[in-house]
């Protein structure tokens, strides 16, 4: 974590330092140019059901177990939501008591804003653990809460004229949607004794769901889990997956190459962004560093296979509809194709205008770089290097599964 200290000689000096601290903690520090939507859509193709804030695979079981128990209580939506939050808060303490890393809310506790149910909901739908793929978590809570009233009404209607109750398990045991959860049973006393680690049965179940679920079975993620889980568990970067991808289906190879090539292309924009910032901030050492990075990127573009890159197909494949994003990608690729002869001032203007469009003038780092002229220790303002497309997060889940399978 970055730490900055100062001797409080004057209010002006203190103000300058606080400006830098505020500047470095502004929202969006890793997506200054608004390419997150493209990165995330590629990640959804490669590693469906994952997210950058997922921590451990066990939550794919904890959330369904909690919600299934709440369904049985016939709660109104508001009370269902309240009890869900209470149960998730309770799980923080249970998991902490048995130890382990990656426990969501370990530090913030009940103040946690994004709880596991929200964080893992897309994955639960993607892997078919939650059966009704079209329902978001808020609609599900509404339906689950109304279920109690529906059962009572149907129960009353199923009484015969003499008051004898008719045995209709389908009416009493299931909602109008059918069973919500495809999940294995929790261990005994799980609400009081719960490990963040997967059991062998849990690991086997989750692996099978990712590999066979309709929304994930043809992905890079499923192929890695099925065929190369042990081989890739120690890889540090997305690019290191390349030799394994070469043994996969043609579509996976196409998707992987698309992601890798986009990462190579857009890396130049992020390098240029940092170069502009440090130039504007008059930090010569950092400016020199990014000038070198820029030359390395220019060299990479000289061997880039532009003949096989189709920007329009790329944008259409990812359903990128935002006009500004589409136009920025088109212009950037055009610059990359002729980078050796491109006018760098025009290029820098494109970067500067793009940041203003994304963040506005008030939050623009490039416009305010001169105010941040003190010597700081940070290396980059925005994204730098190849995009990882959630590989580190998927890898953490993969390790959980392997450890569970190993007992």
Structure confidence by residue, pLDDT tens digits, 276-285: 999 998 989 9
Based on the domain organization, do 109 and 43 belong to the same domain? no
Based on the domain organization, do 33 and 69 belong to the same domain? no
Domain's final residue, options 162, 197, 232: 197
Based on the domain organization, do 293 and 274 belong to the same domain? yes
Domain's final residue, options 152, 180, 197: 197
Structure confidence by residue, pLDDT tens digits, 152-174: 444 443 444 444 444 433 333 33
Query: Rounded mean pLDDT of 219-234?
Result: 97
Instruction: Give a yes or no: residue 297 inside a domain.
Output: yes
Instruction: Give a yes or no: residue 228 inside a domain.
Output: no
Instruction: Give a yes or no: residue 261 inside a domain.
Output: yes
Based on the domain organization, do 41 and 63 belong to the same domain? no
Based on the domain organization, do 373 and 338 belong to the same domain? yes
Based on the domain organization, do 121 and 189 belong to the same domain? yes
What gap in Å lies between CA 358 and CA 33, rounded to an integer?
7
Based on the domain organization, do 263 and 361 belong to the same domain? yes
Q: Is the pLDDT of residue 12 over 60?
A: no
Structure confidence by residue, pLDDT tens digits, 94-145: 998 888 899 998 887 777 889 999 999 999 999 999 998 888 999 888 888 6
Domain's final residue, options 197, 221, 239: 197
For the ranges 40-54, 123-137, 174-188, 196-210, which has the lowest average pLDDT?
174-188
pLDDT band at 183 (very low <50, low <70, confident <90, very high): very high
pLDDT band at 395 (very low <50, low <70, confident <90, very high): very high
Based on the domain organization, do 173 and 304 belong to the same domain? no
Instruction: Give a yes or no: residue 213 inside a domain.
Output: no
Instruction: Give a yes or no: residue 54 inside a domain.
Output: no
Based on the domain organization, do 256 and 323 belong to the same domain? yes
Instruction: Give a yes or no: residue 240 inside a domain.
Output: no
Based on the domain organization, do 44 and 66 belong to the same domain? no
CA-to-CA separations, 281 to 237, 278, 287, 293, in angstroms, rounded: 31, 5, 9, 18
Buried b vs exposed e over 119-157: b needs ≥16 C-beta within 10 Å?
Answer: bbbbbbbbbbbbeeeebebeebbbbbbbbbeebeeeeee
Name the residue range of residue 33's domain.
23-48+251-391
Structure confidence by residue, pLDDT tens digits, 47-74: 999 999 999 999 999 999 999 999 888 8
Number of domains in the chain: 2
Structure confidence by residue, pLDDT tens digits, 306-350: 999 999 999 999 999 888 999 999 999 999 999 989 899 999 999
Q: Which of 173, 191, 184 is nearest to 71 (CA)?
A: 173
Based on the domain organization, do 75 and 131 belong to the same domain? yes
For the ranges 119-123, 145-149, 356-360, which has the lowest average pLDDT?
145-149
Instruction: Give a yes or no: residue 405 inside a domain.
Output: no
pTM: 0.83
Instruction: Give a yes or no: residue 396 inside a domain.
Output: no
Based on the domain organization, do 381 and 255 belong to the same domain? yes
């Amino acid at each position: 974590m970055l730490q900055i200290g100062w001797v409080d000689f004057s209010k002006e000096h203190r103000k300058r330092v606080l400006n830098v601290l505020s500047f470095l903690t502004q929202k969006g520090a890793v997506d200054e140019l608004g390419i997150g939507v493209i990165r995330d859509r590629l990640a959804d193709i490669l590693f469906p059901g994952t997210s950058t804030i997922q921590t451990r695979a066990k939550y794919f079981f904890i959330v369904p177990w909690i919600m299934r128990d709440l369904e049985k209580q016939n709660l109104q939506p508001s009370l269902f939501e309240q009890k869900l939050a209470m149960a998730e808060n309770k799980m923080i303490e249970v998991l902490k008591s048995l130890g382990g890393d990656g426990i969501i809310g370990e530090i913030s506790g009940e103040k946690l804003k994004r709880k596991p149910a929200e964080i893992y909901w897309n994955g639960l739908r993607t892997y078919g653990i939650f059966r009704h793929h079209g329902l978001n978590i808020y609609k599900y809570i509404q339906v689950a809460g109304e279920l109690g009233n529906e059962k009572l009404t149907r129960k009353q209607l199923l009484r015969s004229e003499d008051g004898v109750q008719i045995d209709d398990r389908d009416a009493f045991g299931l909602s109008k949607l059918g069973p919500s959860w495809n999940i294995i049973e929790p261990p005994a006393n799980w609400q009081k004794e719960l490990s963040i680690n997967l059991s062998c049965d849990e690991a086997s179940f989750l692996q099978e769901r990712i590999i066979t679920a309709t929304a994930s079975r043809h992905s890079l993620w499923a192929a890695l889990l099925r065929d190369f889980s042990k081989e890739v568990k120690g890889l540090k970067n997305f690019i290191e997956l390349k030799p394994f991808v070469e043994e996969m289906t043609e579509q996976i190879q196409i998707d992987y190459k698309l992601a890798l090539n986009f990462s190579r292309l857009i890396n130049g924009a992020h390098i240029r962004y940092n170069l502009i910032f440090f130039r504007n901030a008059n930090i010569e050492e950092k400016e020199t560093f990014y000038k070198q990075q820029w030359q390395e990127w220019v060299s990479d573009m000289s061997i880039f296979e532009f003949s096989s890159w189709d920007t329009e197909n790329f944008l259409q494949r990812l359903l990128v509809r935002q006009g500004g994003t589409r136009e920025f990608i088109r212009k950037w690729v055009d610059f990359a194709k002729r980078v050796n002869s491109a006018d760098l001032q025009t290029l820098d203007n494109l970067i500067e205008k793009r940041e203003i469009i994304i963040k506005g003038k008030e939050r623009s780092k490039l416009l305010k770089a001169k105010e941040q002229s003190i010597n700081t220790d940070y290396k980059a303002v925005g994204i730098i290097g190849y995009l990882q497309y959630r590989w580190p997060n998927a890898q953490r889940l993969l390790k959980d599964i392997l450890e569970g399978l190993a007992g």
